């Protein structure tokens, strides 16, 4: 069963990773921070509908839609697709996650994102393991992915500064550890069902520009 602390931050953590800066394609979005997954998961019988856009630098804006759902306690599944912009024909990508509560303030998760039948367009699937720990004033996250040609460590923190506003930051290796991607952002609860989130990502790779993501989440209890 989910701990009280995890339930308290669940709505703030329906934010997700859009891309990891390595493929330029849609990246199925498990519950997480800006660019990394966490050990949090959508609650059982909760559906999260999402609409989001990536823009900035010299790229044309991309428009995405997605959904994630908790069919069982501590299990999350989801799907994303690009609705408009370059790469629209790449098709949908899937994700799934199993969450394992370790203590009241700590959990682990094993999952995979970016699952599709078109790796040439969408990139390789992204299997990962992550630990999340509630430190009181903030939550810390540490994980590792063994994605083909891009084995990567990632870390992140989030902190609620008001009951409705949480600040988030993360960092991940990209290009098999040769480069990295850092980000800063926030997620804000508008009401019990609507949330807005946004972040900026800062790649170290030469020629890459700062990328921005804006997203709306609609939370639907199905029971």
DSSP string, the chain: ---HHHHHHHGGG--B----SSSSS-----BBSSSSB-S--PPTTEEEEEEEEEE-TTSPPEEEEEEEEEEETTEEEEEEEEEESTTGGG--EEEEEEEEEEETTEEEEEEEEEE-S-HHHH---EEEEEEEEE-SS-EEEEEEEEETTEEEEEEEEEEEEETTEEEEEEEEEETTTTEEEEEEEEEEE-SSSEEEEEEEEEE-STT---EEEEEEEEEEE--
Q: Which domains does the chain carry?
A: 4-221 (2.40.160.40)
Provide the whole-model pTM: 0.82
pLDDT at position 9 is 32
The vertex-163 CA angle with 105 and 27, nearest 5°, equals 70
pLDDT at position 89 is 52
Task: With a cut of 60, say whether residue 186 has pLDDT above it.
Answer: yes
pLDDT at position 5 is 35
59, 125 contact by CB (below 8 A)? no
Q: How many C-alpha atoms does 192 have within 13 Å on its Cβ side? A: 3
pLDDT at position 78 is 95
Task: With a cut of 50, say whether residue 13 has pLDDT above it.
Answer: no
Task: With a cut of 50, say whether residue 48 has pLDDT above it.
Answer: yes
Higher pLDDT, 49 or 12: 49
pLDDT at position 16 is 33
State the burial class of residue 167 (Cβ atoms within 10 Å of its Cβ: 0-12, 13-18, 19+): middle
Over residues 93-117, the pLDDT tens digits come to 899 999 999 988 999 999 999 998 8
Query: What is the residue-averaged pLDDT of the chain?
Result: 83
Segment 111-140 shows an average pLDDT of 90
Provide the token pair at 75: 């299990």
Task: With a cut of 80, say whether residue 32 has pLDDT above it.
Answer: yes
């Amino acid at each position: 069963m989910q701990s009280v602390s995890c339930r308290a931050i669940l709505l703030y953590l329906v934010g997700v990773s859009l891309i990891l800066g390595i493929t330029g394609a849609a990246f199925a979005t498990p519950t997480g921070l800006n660019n990394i997954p966490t050990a949090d998961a959508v609650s059982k019988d909760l559906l999260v509908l999402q609409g989001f856009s990536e823009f900035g630098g010299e790229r044309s804006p991309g428009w995405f839609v997605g959904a994630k759902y908790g069919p069982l306690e501590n299990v999350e599944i989801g799907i994303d697709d690009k609705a408009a912009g370059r790469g629209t024909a790449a098709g949908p990508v899937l994700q799934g996650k199993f969450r394992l509560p370790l203590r009241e303030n700590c959990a682990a998760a094993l999952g995979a994102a970016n699952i599709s039948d078109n790796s040439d367009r969408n990139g390789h699937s992204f299997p990962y393991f992550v630990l999340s720990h509630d430190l009181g004033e903030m939550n810390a996250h540490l994980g590792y992915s063994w994605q083909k040609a891009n084995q990567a460590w990632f870390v992140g923190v989030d902190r609620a500064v008001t009951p409705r506003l949480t600040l988030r930051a993360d960092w991940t290796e990209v290009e098999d550890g040769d480069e990295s991607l850092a980000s800063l952002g926030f997620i804000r609860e508008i009401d019990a069902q609507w949330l807005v989130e946004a972040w900026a990502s800062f790649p170290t790779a030469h020629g890459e520009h700062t990328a921005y993501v804006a997203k709306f989440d609609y939370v639907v209890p199905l029971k």
